[in-house]
Structure 1
């Protein structure tokens, strides 16, 4: 009986300690991450940020870092999304990304949830920010 009382005291302390201050500062991009970003948006012109994009246009997600994802619509159009807070493990590209959206579009505030491929356990959880379109300039012709 004393062990149960002791366990009842330890568990709440452990939970409180686990919910301490979280560092939400994004890590600087690595050389490889910068190369991926430049490959996709280099030479393109940034447009006005949008709060939502068509889900149909957002099938090709590219993980750049723990806080940046890209949605490639075509070779001429890519949306850059800086997450509202870093999503630990997103850049590893080993977990499955499950998108939880609340309508027929991907919108700011929608949730990305990382799920381990082997165990099925949920890892990082984050929410989308604004979508900045990057378009290739039209060539004169």
Structure 2
């Protein structure tokens, strides 16, 4: 009967190590909290803009720039007055580094919630994680706002 106690003791000792692998400052299981730099970048991009109802798809001609905020958040800039926020369906490890290439698997002329993309290491060509897009929330400057 000594072996089951030994396994139980080993499991108890390993529990703190396993718990330490969780992201610091997580608001939800598996979700990363934004660093101060990421929060500043997000706030700068969305400053003065008001969120609208989420959209399922985003026609490709609408955006000129993709901005990686964190491993969970992408922004698609359409203009100085319109930015779409996409909260991914789950985290995409490495996305925030902004060094890997995003390869989007797309069908048709729109990028939609539920579409997959994966990251590819720029120097080695090794494929990284597969990630899933969420809905696109438009952030617009209010009418009459010159800025």
TM-score range, shorter chain: 0.7 to 0.9
Aligned 8 A contact 1:46 1:134 in 2 = yes
Work out the CA distance in 2 between the residues paired with 1:105 and 1:95. 22
Instruction: Give 1:140 shift.
Output: 6.8
Q: 2:137 aligns with which of 112, 117, 132?
A: 132
Secondary structure of the corresponding residue to residue 41 of structure 2 = helix
Cα-to-partner distance string for 1:13-32 (whole Å, 9 max, x where unaligned) = xxxxxxxxxx7611100001
Q: What's 1:122 paired with?
A: 127
Please identify runs of 4+ aligned residues in structure 1 that moved more than 2 A. Answer: none
For structure 2, the residue ranges without an aligned partner over 5 or more in a row are: 1-21, 23-28
1:95 aligns with 2:104: no
* Aligned residue pair count: 119
Instruction: Give 1:112 shift.
Output: 1.7
Work out the CA distance in 2 between the residues paired with 1:139 and 1:59. 23
Two-structure CA RMSD over aligned residues (Å): 1.5
For structure 1, the residue ranges without an aligned partner over 5 or more in a row are: 1-22
Q: What's 1:32 paired with?
A: 37
Instruction: Give 1:63 shift.
Output: 0.1
Q: 1:81 aligns with which of 79, 86, 91?
A: 86
Work out the CA distance in 2 between the residues paired with 1:55 and 1:34. 26
Secondary structure of the corresponding residue to residue 87 of structure 1 = coil
Distance verdict in 2 for CA 1:132–1:140, change over 3 Å: closer
TM-score by length of 2: 0.77
Secondary structure of the corresponding residue to residue 73 of structure 1 = strand
Aligned 8 A contact 1:90 1:124 in 2 = no
Work out the CA distance in 2 between the residues paired with 1:137 and 1:109. 29
Instruction: Give 1:99 shift.
Output: 1.0
